[in-house]
């Protein structure tokens, strides 16, 4: 067990400590600053590392095996942020901008596809509901158009600023 316990990360120790204290999952997530899925991922990693058998409740296992005062590992030393050169910083900024613009393009495309699907659905709807649904189709088409225009304006602005520097 000692060799398995040595493989636990500080965050996994925190999950164990909160489980021993009986802290509900929602409060544990808040205390750790993580999402519920991340908490569950930590629990699964702990189960794997400690070889907790299937059918044994996580909370019961950690209480039975660690209830005698869990010593949390010390917080890691705070390090100064690593300094990067201007070229590396510039590449990071360009990469983040490119990703952001790609995400805007994806949202625009999704809005366009949704408007097409909704338009097809409108054709099959009763006449009473058609006016409202048609309005929603137009709204989605407008959103798609505006997002594409926004992406183009941002890209043009970035290129213009790059030309000036």
What's the pLDDT tens digit per position in 79-133?
676 777 888 778 887 788 788 888 888 888 888 888 888 888 777 766 666 777 7
pLDDT (0 to 100) of residue 40: 93
Q: Domain ranges for the chain, please list them.
A: 2-66, 86-164
User: CB within 8 A of 12, min separation 6: which ones?
Assistant: 42, 45, 46, 49
pLDDT at 94: 78
Q: Is 56 helix (H, G, I), strand (E, B) or coil?
A: coil
Task: Answer yes or no: is pLDDT of 72 > 90.
Answer: no
Out of 2.60.40.10, 1.10.10.10, 3.40.50.670, 3.40.50.1370, the CATH code matching 2-66 is 1.10.10.10
pTM above 0.85, yes or no: no
């Amino acid at each position: 067990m000692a060799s398995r316990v040595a493989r636990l990360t500080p965050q996994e120790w925190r999950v164990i400590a909160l489980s021993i204290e009986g802290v509900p999952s929602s409060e544990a997530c808040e205390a750790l600053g993580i999402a519920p899925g991340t908490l569950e991922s930590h629990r699964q990693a702990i189960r794997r590392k400690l070889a907790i058998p299937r059918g044994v409740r996580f909370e019961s296992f950690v209480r039975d095996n660690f209830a005698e005062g869990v010593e949390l590992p010390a917080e890691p030393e705070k390090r100064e942020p690593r300094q990067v050169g201007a070229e590396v910083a510039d590449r990071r900024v360009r990469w983040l901008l490119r990703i952001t613009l790609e995400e805007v393009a994806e949202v625009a495309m999704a809005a366009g596809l949704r408007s097409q699907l909704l338009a097809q659905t409108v054709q099959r709807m009763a006449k009473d509901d058609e006016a409202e649904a048609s309005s929603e189709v137009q709204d989605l088409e407008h959103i798609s158009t505006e997002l594409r225009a926004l992406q183009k304006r941002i890209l043009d602005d970035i290129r213009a600023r790059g030309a000036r520097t």
